[in-house]
Amino acid sequence: MDTFAIGDQDFLLNDEPFRVLSGAIHYFRVHPDLWADRIHKARLMGLNTIETYVPWNEHVPVPGSFHTDDGLDLGRFLDLVAAEGMRAIVRPGPYICAEWDNGGLPTWLFSDPTVGVRSSEPGYLAAVSSYLEAVLAVVVPRQITHGGPVILLQIENEYGAFGKDKEYLQHLVDLSKRSGVDVPLFTCDQPFGTMIEDGSLPELHKTGTFGSRAEERLAFLRERQPTGPLMCAEFWNGWFDNWGTHHHTTGAAASAAELDALLTAGASVNIYMFHGGTNFGFTNGANDKGIYEPTITSYDYDAPLSEDGHPTAKYFAFRDVIAKHFPVPEEVPSERVPLPTSVVTVSESVHLLSAAVAASQVPGPIPPVEVTGRYRGFSLYQTSLETGGILSFSEVRDRAQFFLDGFPLGTLSRELGERTIAVPAGGRLQILLEDQGRVNYGQRIGESKGLMGPALLNGVEVLDWEIGAVDLDSLAAFREAATGLPVGGTTAGVAGPSVSFATFEADGPGDRFLRLDGWTKGNAFINGFNLGRYWSRGPQRTLYVPGPLIREGANELAILELHGSATREVSFAVGPDLGPDEK
């Protein structure tokens, strides 16, 4: 039986010193048919371990469930890591941050206002226990002590930046051990102030998270943990992007120099990210430190392996650094081969507001969208107005488009702090509300979405609303209602909000990059799969289409456009365009 332990200065694999050279791959951000490819390329860069978070809200979308189908098959992912001859680190949270919707915490958890999140409050502990027991049922049989790849399990995640409830941390430790975890447990926190002490327990191995000044950060960590292996559990070699900003990059040479400093100091490392992947659908998170900033669809992260799984200059720079310290495989992955471009023209469309949206009457004040039982995407508020005037809300979360009898009145944005709009007298008011991503870091985690009341028309509260979720899991209702577009050539645009359809032919599976120049804002779907959000404000200009989504013969493209397009054409580009780099 293999063993993995923490020694006085080193990790010990079967009692021999072992340096963890890990790279982060989030299985839930990568099409499952591409997992093996990404893992293999990690080994070719010289890594010996794969690290992943586990997103609670994906696996448990409603209480009492635990989904492990398709892209949520954590067991299969870990088995593929083992098949590649690599080790694994699992970080199940329950909070993961990760620029992921709500930091991975399920929205249903917050339906009870008495639940004390990330604390020893009994209701929260009961929910956490149910979730972790299900995760550990997958992980425990795959520990190294059972012949599997898992060598380390994390307790919570950067908890010192949030709180210091030691009873809560002890509960997570006790539950893990009671469930059969016998590999070392660790915590990670930023090497600043008292975060490392606040976010851990004496019995847990402490690691740091940072992307620069490696020697200084490691010295800080060593002062607080005199023995045991030094480890950077998140070596930030890139960064994420928000809508309306530039594409963040870090120089390959500078990042490689920091990695070299880490390895020269004898530290273990987990490269965050080795391969970032994609925030498919409505899974992106957001920041709010005074200004709401939703994360874009791409999670390329300027990582060594690009969003579509190809080596970058940083990949080869990191490989050269690792080769200075450890053997690396002779095989080198091939670089991207440009694909031919093509143009697709949408031919059918249906107005979103004319499609059926199952709505419920909610008496009293305007409700948050959570009353629909759906926690992502779009919701439709409706009411009848007898008088016009100024309609106001305490806050808009996150973006609302207003229509009176189908006629557009304007848009209110949380990002801009907009809360009031003029509405005419008489007619049916419809408000299309977009949840642009739940905050994943800080004290605003778990907040409600929607139009925050009171809703006041000329100072008088508007009561009794209808609200329904826009179901985009299946496009069947929109497809059935779609009709041919008016004659006018391909330069004639499409009015929004609407869902448009097109068919295109393909020789078979293969990556694509969908470019939507001339379109404004919305989501795109390939054969019913939600690729994620697009927005003309950038920086991202293409959406990654994983090759396994494409089938031989006819394929369907659907576009949810919120405002309108100047064209009916979209194109498949030769490669990704994530916008101008940081200067």
Catalytic residues: 158, 234
Instruction: Report helix angle 214-224 to 252-264, nearest 10.
Output: 30
Count of alpha carbons within 13 angstroms of residue 306, beta-carbon side: 16
Which residues have C-beta within 8 Å of that of residue 183, sequence separation ≥ 6?
Answer: 4, 143, 144, 145, 150, 151, 152, 153
| Spatial CA neighbour of 564 closest among 500, 487, 506, 511 | 500
Q: Which residues contact 181 (CB under 8 A, 6 or more apart)?
A: 136, 139, 140, 143, 153
Q: What are phi and psi of 490, to 5 degrees?
A: -70, -15
| Measured distance CA(459)–CA(453) in Å, rounded | 12
Rounded CA separation 549/531 (Å) = 10
If 0-12 CB within 10 Å is exposed, 13-18 middle and 19+ buried, where does residue 316 land?
middle
- Alpha-helical (H) ranges within 106-165 are 122-139
Six-digit token pair at 128?
Answer: 């956490």
What are residue 377's phi and psi, to 5 degrees? 90, -130
Q: Is 68 left (phi over 0), alpha (psi -120 to 50) or beta?
A: alpha
Q: Alpha carbon of 180 to those of 50, 90, 173: distances in Å?
A: 21, 14, 11
- How many whole angstroms separate alpha carbon 267 and alpha carbon 277? 26
